Amino acid sequence: MNTALWIIAAVLAVAFILAGVAKLTRSRSEPTGADMDWSDDLTDGQVTAIGVVEVAGGIGVVLPAVVDIAPILVPIAATGLAIAMAGAAAFHIRRNDPPAKLVPSIVLGILAALLAFGRFGPEAF
């Protein structure tokens, strides 16, 4: 189970760091693609805040365990990402987005919840 949790953590880290960096580096003057059309409903500050949360969470699910400094932060970061993905899913539902827009939020939220459960419980550091 420990190996599976490390794989989940790596997948979450890559996904959230890439998504967060994309949100942090995008300019409002650039046209948004179909994947980021939701950002037109938010302010620049809100999109930046989401990007910061995603990058911090992506780093937080791996780095504390790798350097063995405060590894309790891993399940805390995973819990935060699960909550963020619940909010993302609610946002997409409220916007009446097609179900395909919900899938990434739901899948990443479930993976984050599994990581939090595993690292708080049976495979804690």
Q: Does residue 18 belong to any structural domain of this protein? A: yes
- 35 pLDDT more than 80: no
| pTM for the predicted model, two decimal places | 0.91
Domain count for the chain: 1
What DSSP letter does each residue of 27-43 carry, written as one string?
Answer: -TTSPP-GGGGGGGGS-
Q: Does residue 101 belong to any structural domain of this protein? A: yes
Q: Does residue 9 belong to any structural domain of this protein? A: yes
Token pair belonging to 97: 């987005």
pLDDT tens digit string along 77-101? 999 999 999 999 999 999 999 999 9
* Owning domain of residue 92: 2-26+37-120
Mean pLDDT of the chain: 93
Q: Does residue 70 belong to any structural domain of this protein? A: yes
The 3-state DSSP class for residue 92 equals: helix
pLDDT computed for residue 28 by the predictor:
67
Residues 6+ apart with CB under 8 A from 122: 1
